[in-house]
Amino acid sequence: QKWRPFCLRFEGVVEDFNYGTLLRLDSRREYTEENTIFATRIQFFAIEIARNREGCNDEVFSSAREAAAEEGKS
C-alpha cells in the first residue's frame, strides 16, 4: 500500500513500470533464495538508485571491474 502511490506516478513514463523483478535484500550478496524478494520494476529502480547514491554498490562494481580486467589478461 505504501509503494502504490509512488509507483503509479511512473505509469506511462517508465515502460513496464509495474512488471515484477527480483531484488537483492543485501546488495553486497549474490542473488540467493534467502537474499531475494519480488518487487515491481519501479521499486527496483528506486532502491538501486538510492543504493548507488549511498555507495552501497561500489564494492560490487569494483569486483566486477576487476573480474573483467582479469578476463582481459587471459
Return d(Cα 20, Cα 74) in angstroms, integer: 38
Q: pLDDT tens digit string along 20-70?
A: 999 999 988 889 999 999 999 999 999 999 999 999 888 877 887 888 888
What is the structure's pLDDT at 74? 67
For strands 20-24 and 36-40, give the pairing: antiparallel
Task: Look up the CATH number of domain 2-72.
Answer: 1.10.3560.10
pTM: 0.74
What is the structure's pLDDT at 39? 95
Residue extents of the structural domains in the chain: 2-72
- Stretch 13-18: mean pLDDT: 90
